[in-house]
Structures are given as structure tokens and as C-alpha cells.
Amino acid sequence: MTSDLQPFASGLIGHVTFFANNNAISSYLPDDLGRFFSLYPNVRISLEERLSHDIISAVSSGRADIGVVAMETEHPELDFFPYRQDQLVLLAPLNGRFDDRHSVSFAECLGLPFISLQSGAALHTFLMNHASALGGRLDVRVQVSGFRAIARLVSSGAGIGVAPRSALEPADLDRLKVIEILEGWARRNLQVCVQRHPREQNVFRDHLIKILCPP
């Protein structure tokens, strides 16, 4: 009990459990959470990366206070609020087989060496599932911990990769080819989800929603 109460003795005044997909964590959330902590410095947030369907399950069951998902859906126990729009794009080396392409289907990419996030990352699982649904697989040449490493390795010619457009830096456009993926799932309409009638009130969850989804 002493260890459980220690954070509050140190000035902790609230806690929010937050599940989000890799796209949001790697792009928009850091700045938004920075704004939240500037207003509520003594609140702690447990942020975990999960797949969208796992996030919806966690929020609806109360295992998470708030989530960010990238899927168009409805749920009888949840409210959804627009957060951001993004797009998954294919990264390819310059002067390669896709150099004259502005768009490509995901099926055309199967069998080519991929630079991927590590196993267990939400986007890795997401892409593996889509490859399997097409009757193929990803030929993963290298697994890395983040999108910056994917961009660096693709620009070196090690393979192709998939990343959110928001994770790219201006210099990436000079070092590699950024190509639109034709499938509908590549368009990411990020939404915040919360319980419609929460079992427990959490005022800091509500403050966080206002920062993520301003009126």
C-alpha cells in the first residue's frame, strides 16, 4: 500500500491510461501531450501502442480511459471524435523500379525486400495481415524500431517500406521516392474514442479530450 500511495505523496494528482496506434504515437501525439503536460504537470499518462481493434476493446471494457484509432466504425458504448487525417505511403529508393510511379497497389509490393518495424509493432502486424489476406507475405529484410530508421535504410537502397506521411521529414523527399498506396486502408482517419457512459469519472481524461479534439 505504501508503494501505491507514494506517487500521490509526491504530488501526483491524476492518471490516464491511453492506448493509441503507431501512426498517432509517431506523429501527432507528442506535441499534443506536451501541451497537456504544460497545463497539468502532475498528471501521469500510461501510453501504450496497440492495434485499433484492440484499442476499441480496451476502451469499451474500461481497461483504457481513452484511445486513438484509425478505422471507421461505430460502437454502442463509445463516442468517437475526429482527431487527425494521415496516409500510409510506400517509401522506395530513388532510381528503382517504382521511380516513375505516383501510386502503387500493395499487392505489387509483396515479394520485394521490406524494411519493417519490429515484430509486435502495430503497423508491422497490420501490414502482415494485409499481405496474408492477399495470399502473400512480407519479405522482411530488416526490422527497426522507428520510422526514421525505415526512411534511412530505404534511401540507402536496402529495400522498400511503409510509413505514415506525417512521419516524414522534408529532407526525405530528396532522398527517396514517396508513393501513394491505392488501397483504402492507407487513408488514416484518426479518431479519439472514449466510453459514452464511463463507469468512473476522470476529469483529466476530459481535459485531454479537449486538447486532442478542440471544439
- Delimit the domains of the chain by residue range: 2-84+188-212, 86-187
The pLDDT, as a whole number, for residue 12 is 58
- Alpha helix locations (H) across the chain? 2-9, 22-26, 29-39, 52-61, 122-133, 147-155, 172-175, 203-212
Q: What is the pLDDT of residue 161?
A: 97
Residue with grid cell 506536451, as numbered in its chain? 34
Contact by Cβ (8 Å): 83, 34: no
DSSP-assigned beta bridge partners for residue 174: none
Taking domain 86-187, whether its CATH number is 2.40.30.260 is answered by: no
The predicted structure's pLDDT at residue 215 = 82
Residues forming a β-bridge with 67: 19, 193
Examine domains 2-84+188-212 and 86-187 and report if their fold is the same.
yes
Q: What is the pLDDT of residue 74?
A: 84
Which mean pLDDT values do the consecutive 10-residue runs of the chain (215 residues) have? 43 86 89 96 95 93 95 87 95 92 96 93 90 95 94 96 93 94 93 92 95 92
Give the total residue count for the chain: 215
Q: Give how far the C-alpha of residue 89 lies from the chain's centroid of Cα atoms, to the nearest Å.
A: 14
pTM of the model as a whole: 0.78
Q: 43-49 and 66-69 as β-strands: parallel, antiparallel, unpaired? A: unpaired
Q: What is the CATH number of domain 2-84+188-212?
A: 3.40.190.10
Q: What pLDDT score was predicted for residue 5? A: 41
| Model pLDDT, residue 46 | 97
